[in-house]
Chains A and B, each alone.
Chain A
Amino acid sequence: MILDRIPVRLRLTLGHALWLAFFFAATGFAIHRIVEHNLYQQVDAALLASAKSINDARYAKPLSPPLIQEFLARHFGERHTRPYAQLVDLSGKVSARTPNIRVNLPVTARAWKRAERGVETFESFVGKRTGNPFRQVTLPVLQDGKFTGELIQVGAPLDSTVHALSTISLVLWTALPTGVLLSALLGYFLAKRALQPVKDMQIAAAGLGAKDLGQRLDLPVANDELRALAETFNGMLGRLEDAFKRLRRFSGDVSHELRTPVAVLRGEAELALRRERSPEEYRDALRNILVETHQMSGIIEDLLLLARAESKSVAMQWAEVDSTQFIESIRESVQPVFDKRGVNLVVPADPTVKSFTASANYLSLAIKNLLLNAAKHSANGSSVVLDMEAANKPGAKPGVIFRVRDEGEGIPAESLPYIFDPFYRADTARNRANGGAGVGLSLTKAMVNLHAGTVEVASVFGEGATFTINLPAHS
């Protein structure tokens, strides 16, 4: 559309001006016609009144033609006066006329025809000699309702009417286009004014870099489209800011998690090399370095898996999984940690769901992480319970639910929304000795998401926590 290429301000103005011009033109025509009609009616009424008074004078109290001549002269004045009148018959013979008539005035065929029916006729002419327009009425003289063959014609020049009309035309045709022009200009500036907040917003938005995502646009006071736009924009900024914050925190956390072990590696090596040492001291240094390297590669593996899972570039190995075997393999792999911490692990001996479809390695990682997390937050002697049941959602194929419940210290309510964020810990400090880099729960969530499932947490601070993995049936 060609209209789309025109700037919006101009488009508004043009559209507005076009409609206004159309409306003004229509109004102008209407006014002109109404005024014209009224003026002619006045003239016609005056002419008819004159004709009738002549008729009355002629026939109510019959006068001889010379007397009529005198009456006309008295009535219409001398030859210089503008209106005129005459009495004319069928043969075209004029029996009386005002002195200002110097030519034989025509009687049109139309006027004759109408006269025979006893109806007066109004006509406009242009004077042959002067070129002046005039208006004339032809009144048939009736006797006992019958046309006598005589006509009374009364005329008057129209120049004052025409003048009035042309004045009106002039006024209309200059005032209206000026009005259109002025209002188009006004419209242009109004459009500019109206669009100014948009421009302000654009300038403000253009000035925002990644560093000032905390800034917001000022909201217009009026509750209108512009406010809605600004609010939408601010909402978008808020989401961006949030995403940036998470990203920044994530990279900060990653660097922390990797720098500390690197500091240890470097420190152990430098310390060992500072002076001549005994073989036992060198062996200790190497052992420390090895332990640290193991931890570090664990962190790196977790981070890589998390990144791959979040970019969905993980190869899922969907297969039918036997529940009993699946749970037993998980129990075997986490049991040493539970034993070390003196925490009881309770798993279902005979799960009601016999088998389900999943990518077993990734799902078991998700559940292991939940169990290890639960163990970490459980006191010596308390229990962690793993449950499994069928999820019967009406209208859907039954999925499977895993539940991990602990009797630990629970999670503060303000931490619940962030518990699955990478590196998030209710306690801001890190403690690598306490296990993991803080990505365990994020990994659980990522692994469950790969299965199109959800993981939720419910906890009352001080009374333990329950994590629920809800897997839909694989289709």
Chain B
Amino acid sequence: MRILVVEDDAPLASVVVRTLREESYAVDLAQDGQEAEWYAFENPYDLIILDLMLPRKDGLSVLKTLRSSGIHTPVLILTAKDAPGDVVTGLDTGADDYLKKPFSLDELTARVRALLRRLPHETGAILECGPLKIDPARKEVTRGGARIDLTAKEFALLEYMARHAGTVLTRTQLSEHVWDMNFEPTSNVVDVYVGYLRNKIDKAFEYPLIKTMRGHGYMLDASKT
């Protein structure tokens, strides 16, 4: 899951970005409204965390531009103001949720998970794919009841594939949603990580869940064929 954080206050942005990265999300940071628009137009984010008070272009204007350009990525707005006016305007402009500063990081990550659940064909808080169970809140993965330990990046990759189980995902799609802007497009990092994942979730079991669709990419699928 790839998240864009838009926050001009460097210390606060740093805390939020570090927290989300620890939660195994791919995170990009934009420090003003203009930059936020460029990033959002360039990259397919799964969520945008948007501070309302920004240099160059304020958060509400950014939100308006995104929505009118057909970008419907969920948006969580951050505000430090007392007045409910900003929150109301923000939600009415197309934001999906809001948080008031100062906020607890647990609440922030919970809201992020809740917003990511709302993506198309999403279900409960726990993702299931046949015998595979993924708990994004606890970062726990089990197959047939057996616990599997994954690194953060492996988990992010599996989570993204599980959220789109049954659909073929290209290497580009995977790289765009699981890696941040520092991803090197010419590398074979995606194949390497898919390999790591296979070792952990498929190797010791009777049939593979990760299927290679030659010439297209990969797919997580519960069927045995």
Chain A contacts to B: CB under 8 angstroms? 248, 251-252, 255-256, 259-268, 270-271, 274-275, 288, 291-292, 427-433
Contacts and interface: CB of A to CB of B under 8 A. Distances in A.
Contact of B55 (A267, A274, A429): A429
Interface string B78-121: 00111100000000000000001111111000000000000000
A430 B8 contact: yes
A428 B105 CA distance: 27
Contacts of A256: 53, 80-81
Contacts of A427: 55-56
Interface residues on B, range: 20 to 34
Contacts of A291: 11
A288 B105 contact: no
A265 B103 CA distance: 10
A428 B11 contact: no
A342 B103 CA distance: 38
A430 B9 contact: yes
Contact of B103 (A255, A263, A428, A432): A263
21 contacts: A248-B83, A256-B81, A260-B12, A263-B102, A263-B103, A264-B11, A266-B102, A266-B104, A267-B15, A267-B19, A268-B15, A270-B104, A271-B18, A274-B19, A274-B105, A288-B14, A427-B55, A428-B53, A428-B58, A429-B8, A433-B9
Nearest to B81: A252
A255 B81 contact: yes
Nearest to A261: B11
A218 B92 CA distance: 33
Given A255-B80, A259-B102, A267 B9 contact: no
Given A267-B19, A429-B54, A288 B11 contact: yes
B28 interface: no
Given A271-B19, A429-B56, A429-B58, A263 B81 contact: no
Contacts of A428: 53, 58
Given A259-B102, A266-B104, A433-B10, 5 more contacts: A259-B80, A259-B101, A260-B102, A270-B19, A292-B11
Contacts of B100: 259
Contacts of B54: 429
B210 to A, nearest CB: 28
Contacts of B56: 427, 429
A261 B22 CA distance: 22
B47 interface: no
B165 interface: no
B154 interface: no
Contact of B105 (A255, A267, A292, A429): A267
B16 A270 contact: no
B8 A262 contact: no
Interface string B26-57: 00000011000000000000000000011110
Interface string B121-140: 00000000000000000000
B9 A264 contact: yes
Given A260-B9, A262-B102, A288-B11, A430 B82 contact: no
B15 A264 contact: yes
A261 to B, nearest CB: 8
A429 B6 CA distance: 13
B55 to A, nearest CB: 4
B99 to A, nearest CB: 9
B22 A274 contact: yes
A429 B53 contact: yes
Most buried by A among B11, B54, B101: B11
Contacts of B81: 252, 255-256
A251 to B, nearest CB: 7
Contacts of B9: 260, 264, 430-433
Nearest to B55: A429
A259 B103 CA distance: 9
B81 to A, nearest CB: 5
Most buried by B among A262, A267, A427, A432: A267
Contacts of A429: 8, 32-33, 53-56, 58
A114 B54 CA distance: 117
Contacts of B14: 288
Nearest to B10: A433
A259 B80 CA distance: 6
Nearest to B100: A259
Nearest to B109: A274
Contacts of B105: 266-267, 270-271, 274
A274 B11 CA distance: 18
B102 A271 contact: no
A268 B18 CA distance: 10
Contacts of B106: 270
A256 B82 CA distance: 8
B83 A431 contact: no
Contacts of A264: 9, 11-12, 15
Contact of A260 (B18, B55, B101, B104): B101
Nearest to B104: A270
B204 to A, nearest CB: 27
* Closest A-B pairs by Cβ, 6 of them: A267-B15, A263-B102, A429-B55, A256-B80, A263-B101, A262-B102
A256 B54 CA distance: 12
A427 B57 CA distance: 9
Given A260-B101, A270-B105, A255 B11 contact: no
A252 B86 CA distance: 12
Interface string B147-166: 00000000000000000000
A431 B8 contact: yes
Contacts of B104: 266, 270
B117 to A, nearest CB: 21
A291 B10 CA distance: 12
Nearest to A265: B102
A263 B12 contact: yes
A271 to B, nearest CB: 5
B59 to A, nearest CB: 9
A433 B8 CA distance: 9
Contacts of A259: 80, 100-102
B12 A252 contact: no
A259 B19 CA distance: 19
A259 B11 CA distance: 13
